[in-house]
Amino acid sequence: MLHYTGYSLSVAFLGALLGTLTGISLASVLSQAYTIYFNLPETIGGINSKAILYGFMISMTVSLIAGLTASRGVVAINPAESMRPEPPRGTGKIILERWTWLWNRFNATWKMSLRSVCRKWGRFAVTLVGVIFAVGLLVLSLFSNDSVTVPPVQRVA
């Protein structure tokens, strides 16, 4: 159980350490920007070691609770049982298999993929939404880049 909890604690420690170092390095830059923008006095700043300590403690505590909660279920099962593959839920024909004129045109890879999509449609839907958002972000970033770097061309016909 401690083995699995160690993973979560190491990730939390590394994240807290990187966050602290990033926060310390950016604190002076942001303080100077706030001083200029909001017309604040220059006495802003300093490293609050108590806040850093509290942040580390909260991060490690939440990570410990999450690691113990996750590993409790893993430790409870028999190792030999956990290595067996999960039996498939539905083993009937999917709707595409009933259309033999279409089904016979697919090779084995396509057939397995289509069976998986039809049997686990929730996972397919989440994957599809993720791909749609990823492509949308890609198109948006390319558009934003082009709108700044490429000068507009006006054509008069």
Contacts 24+ apart (CB under 8 A), 63-66: 63/8, 63/9, 63/11, 63/12, 64/5, 64/8, 64/9, 64/12, 66/8
More confident residue, 10 or 47: 10
Band of residue 43 on the pLDDT scale cut at 50, 70, 90: low
Question: Both tokens of residue 143?
Answer: 């558009």
Query: Is the confidence at residue 52, as pLDDT, over 80?
Result: yes
User: What percent of the residues of the chain are helix, what percent strand, and what percent coil, each to the nearest 5?
Assistant: 75, 0, 25
Q: Which of 20-34, 44-58, 85-99, 103-117 has the highest mean pLDDT?
A: 103-117
User: How confident is the model at residue 134, as a pLDDT?
Assistant: 98
Q: Is the pTM of this model over 0.75?
A: no
